[in-house]
Chains A and B, each alone.
Chain A
Amino acid sequence: METKTDTQMLPEVKKIPSRFRNALGKYRVTITKECNNCGICVKLCPYGVYKAGSKKPRVAAEHLCLGFPCSANEFYCVNKCPEKAIQLRLNPAFEILGDRRWSPDLLASTWHMAETGEIPYQGLNYKTGDSGGGFDKLRFIFPREKGPEIPDEEVSTAIELNRSGDSRPGVRIPVPFYLGGMSFGSVSIVTMLSRVKAAAALNTFCCTGEGGYPEELIPYDDHMITQVATGLFGVSEESLKRVRIVEFKYAQGAKPGLGGHLLGDKVTPRVARMREAVAGSALFSPFPFHSVYSVEDHKKHVDWIKQTNSRALVSVKVSTPTDVDMVAVGSYYAGAHIIQLDGSYGGTGAAPDIAKKNIAMPIEYAVPKVHKFLSEEGIRDKITIIASGGIRSAYDMAKAIALGANGVCLGTADLVALECIRCHHCESGRGCARGIATTDEQLTNLMELEWATQRIINMYLTWRRQLVSILKRLGMKSVTELVGRFDVIGHLDYIKQEEIEGELEL
Chain B
Amino acid sequence: MPAKYHIHTAQAANRFQLITRSGVIAWEEGCLKCPSCVKKACVYKVYEKRGIDSRQMLESLDSVCKDCFRCVQGCPKQLIQKGFNPSYKALGDHYWTPEIISGLWYQAEAGRIPVSGGGYGGAFSGPGFDAMWTDMSEIVRPTRDGIHGREYISTTTDIGRKLMALEFDETGALSVTPPPVVEIPLPLLLDMLPWSPPGMGIKLAILEGAKSLGTFAIIRQSDFTPAMKEYLSNIALYIDGQVSDIEPSVLSALRLIELPYSKEVIAAQNTLKITNSGLVTIIRMDLSPDSAEEVVRLTKEGAEAIHLVADEYGLEKSDRPLFIKERTRDIHLRLVEAGVRDQITLISGGGIAMAEHVAKQIICGSDLLSVDIPLLIAMECRVCRRCKEGIACPVELEGVDPVWGASRIRNLMAGWHNQLLEILGAMGIREVKRLRGEMGRAMFFEDLEKDIFATLGRRG
A-contact 0/1 string along B104-125, CB 8 Å cutoff: 0000000001111111111111
The listed residue (B78, B146, B440) touching A284 by CB distance below 8 A is B146
Query: Is A378 engaged at the interface, CB distance under 8 Å to the other chain?
Result: no
The answer to whether A258 and B453 have CB atoms under 8 Å apart is: no
The listed residue (B21, B81, B117, B125) touching A347 by CB distance below 8 A is B117
- Min CB–CB distance B167 → chain A (angstroms): 40
Query: Is A234 engaged at the interface, CB distance under 8 Å to the other chain?
Result: no
Q: Which residues of B contact A292 (CB under 8 A)?
A: 139-140
The answer to whether A362 and B124 have CB atoms under 8 Å apart is: yes
Q: Which residues of A contact B83 (CB under 8 A)?
A: 92-93, 96
The answer to whether A293 and B73 have CB atoms under 8 Å apart is: no
The listed residue (B117, B125, B453) touching A426 by CB distance below 8 A is B117
- Min CB–CB distance A20 → chain B (angstroms): 4
The listed residue (A321, A423, A500) touching B138 by CB distance below 8 A is A321
- Nearest-neighbor residue (CB-CB) of A293 within chain B: B140
The answer to whether A427 and B454 have CB atoms under 8 Å apart is: no
The listed residue (A93, A101, A258, A421) touching B426 by CB distance below 8 A is A258
Q: Which residues of A contact B425 (CB under 8 A)?
A: 257-258, 287
The answer to whether B124 and A319 have CB atoms under 8 Å apart is: no
Which candidate, B64-72, B169-177, B374-382, is the interface stretch facing chain A?
B64-72
Query: Is A278 engaged at the interface, CB distance under 8 Å to the other chain?
Result: no
- Min CB–CB distance B31 → chain A (angstroms): 15
The answer to whether B68 and A102 have CB atoms under 8 Å apart is: no
The listed residue (A256, A430, A491) touching B457 by CB distance below 8 A is A491
- Min CB–CB distance A412 → chain B (angstroms): 6
Query: Is B22 engaged at the interface, CB distance under 8 Å to the other chain?
Result: yes
The listed residue (A133, A422, A443) touching B121 by CB distance below 8 A is A422
On whether A500 and B115 interact (CB within 8 A), knowing A22-B72, A352-B422, A421-B67, the answer reads no
Q: How far apart sit A357 and B118, CA to CA, in the bound complex (Å)?
A: 12
Chain A, range 4-21, C-beta contacts under 8 Å to B: 18, 20-21
The answer to whether B135 and A489 have CB atoms under 8 Å apart is: no
On whether A131 and B115 interact (CB within 8 A), knowing A321-B137, A361-B443, the answer reads no
On whether A437 and B135 interact (CB within 8 A), knowing A256-B426, A354-B356, the answer reads no
- Min CB–CB distance B154 → chain A (angstroms): 18
- Count of chain A residues near B, Cβ 8 A: 105
Q: Which residues of B contact A437 (CB under 8 A)?
A: 117
Query: Is A353 engaged at the interface, CB distance under 8 Å to the other chain?
Result: yes
The answer to whether B456 and A495 have CB atoms under 8 Å apart is: yes
Q: Which residues of A contact B124 (CB under 8 A)?
A: 131-134, 136-137, 362, 364
A-contact 0/1 string along B441-457, CB 8 Å cutoff: 11100001101111111
A-contact 0/1 string along B348-386, CB 8 Å cutoff: 000000111001100000000000000000000000000
Query: Is B50 engaged at the interface, CB distance under 8 Å to the other chain?
Result: no
Interface-central residue, A100, A355, A412, A420, by most chain B CB under 10 Å? A355
Q: How far apart sit A93 and B103, CA to CA, in the bound complex (Å)?
A: 23
Query: Is A501 engaged at the interface, CB distance under 8 Å to the other chain?
Result: yes
Q: Which residues of A contact B44 (CB under 8 A)?
A: 429, 433
Chain A, range 451-506, C-beta contacts under 8 Å to B: 486-491, 493-495, 500-501, 504
Query: Is A327 engaged at the interface, CB distance under 8 Å to the other chain?
Result: yes
The answer to whether A359 and B134 have CB atoms under 8 Å apart is: yes
The answer to whether A251 and B136 have CB atoms under 8 Å apart is: yes
The answer to whether A284 and B121 have CB atoms under 8 Å apart is: no
The answer to whether A421 and B69 have CB atoms under 8 Å apart is: yes
- Nearest-neighbor residue (CB-CB) of A446 within chain B: B70
The answer to whether A321 and B135 have CB atoms under 8 Å apart is: yes
- Min CB–CB distance B82 → chain A (angstroms): 4
- Min CB–CB distance B325 → chain A (angstroms): 13
Query: Is A360 engaged at the interface, CB distance under 8 Å to the other chain?
Result: yes
Query: Is B391 engaged at the interface, CB distance under 8 Å to the other chain?
Result: no
Q: Which residues of A contact B8 (CB under 8 A)?
A: none
- Count of chain B residues near A, Cβ 8 A: 76
- Min CB–CB distance A250 → chain B (angstroms): 6
Q: How far apart sit A261 and B113, CA to CA, in the bound complex (Å)?
A: 14
The answer to whether A101 and B136 have CB atoms under 8 Å apart is: no
The answer to whether A426 and B118 have CB atoms under 8 Å apart is: yes
The answer to whether B117 and A427 have CB atoms under 8 Å apart is: yes
The answer to whether B136 and A350 have CB atoms under 8 Å apart is: no
The answer to whether B147 and A258 have CB atoms under 8 Å apart is: yes
- Min CB–CB distance B86 → chain A (angstroms): 12
Q: How far apart sit A366 and B304, CA to CA, in the bound complex (Å)?
A: 42
- Nearest-neighbor residue (CB-CB) of A355 within chain B: B422
Q: Which residues of A contact B426 (CB under 8 A)?
A: 256-258, 355, 359
The answer to whether A100 and B133 have CB atoms under 8 Å apart is: no
The answer to whether A288 and B356 have CB atoms under 8 Å apart is: no
Chain A, range 119-148, C-beta contacts under 8 Å to B: 131-134, 136-138, 141
The answer to whether B120 and A433 have CB atoms under 8 Å apart is: no
Q: Which residues of B contact A24 (CB under 8 A)?
A: 69, 72-73
Q: How far apart sit A93 and B75, CA to CA, in the bound complex (Å)?
A: 14
Query: Is B305 engaged at the interface, CB distance under 8 Å to the other chain?
Result: no
Q: Which residues of B contact A20 (CB under 8 A)?
A: 70, 73-74
On whether A100 and B122 interact (CB within 8 A), knowing A251-B136, A288-B141, A423-B66, the answer reads yes
The answer to whether B121 and A100 have CB atoms under 8 Å apart is: yes
On whether A433 and B118 interact (CB within 8 A), knowing A256-B136, A261-B147, the answer reads no
The answer to whether B116 and A425 have CB atoms under 8 Å apart is: yes
- Nearest-neighbor residue (CB-CB) of B23 within chain A: A96
The answer to whether B139 and A347 have CB atoms under 8 Å apart is: no
Query: Is B459 engaged at the interface, CB distance under 8 Å to the other chain?
Result: yes
On whether A490 and B456 interact (CB within 8 A), knowing A93-B83, A433-B44, the answer reads yes
The answer to whether A92 and B81 have CB atoms under 8 Å apart is: yes
- Nearest-neighbor residue (CB-CB) of B120 within chain A: A356
Query: Is B458 engaged at the interface, CB distance under 8 Å to the other chain?
Result: yes
The answer to whether A138 and B456 have CB atoms under 8 Å apart is: yes
The answer to whether A354 and B443 have CB atoms under 8 Å apart is: no
The answer to whether A412 and B72 have CB atoms under 8 Å apart is: no
- Nearest-neighbor residue (CB-CB) of A500 within chain B: B457
On whether A289 and B116 interact (CB within 8 A), knowing A256-B426, A433-B66, A443-B43, the answer reads no
B-contact 0/1 string along A309-353, CB 8 Å cutoff: 000000000110110100100100000000000001111111111
The answer to whether B355 and A424 have CB atoms under 8 Å apart is: no
Q: Which residues of B contact A345 (CB under 8 A)?
A: 119-121
The answer to whether A350 and B117 have CB atoms under 8 Å apart is: yes
- Min CB–CB distance B302 → chain A (angstroms): 37
- Min CB–CB distance A284 → chain B (angstroms): 5
Interface-central residue, B67, B68, B116, by most chain A CB under 10 Å? B116
Q: Which residues of A contact B422 (CB under 8 A)?
A: 258, 352, 354-355, 359
Query: Is B273 engaged at the interface, CB distance under 8 Å to the other chain?
Result: no
Chain A, range 367-394, C-beta contacts under 8 Å to B: 368-369, 389-390
- Nearest-neighbor residue (CB-CB) of A97 within chain B: B69
The answer to whether A369 and B457 have CB atoms under 8 Å apart is: no
The listed residue (B68, B423, B459, B460) touching A354 by CB distance below 8 A is B423
- Min CB–CB distance B427 → chain A (angstroms): 7
- Nearest-neighbor residue (CB-CB) of A20 within chain B: B73
The 8 closest A-B pairs by CB, nearest first: A257-B426, A133-B124, A426-B117, A99-B121, A490-B457, A257-B136, A286-B146, A433-B68
Give 14 pairs: A residue, B residue, CB < 8 Å, sorted on A. Answer: A132-B124, A136-B124, A258-B425, A287-B146, A287-B425, A294-B140, A321-B137, A347-B118, A349-B117, A362-B125, A368-B452, A434-B68, A486-B458, A495-B456
Q: A358-B360, A390-B119 are in contact. List 20 more A-B contacts (CB 8 A).
A: A21-B75, A22-B73, A24-B73, A93-B83, A96-B84, A131-B122, A250-B138, A284-B146, A284-B148, A286-B145, A287-B146, A288-B141, A321-B138, A347-B119, A359-B136, A425-B66, A425-B116, A427-B117, A433-B43, A491-B454
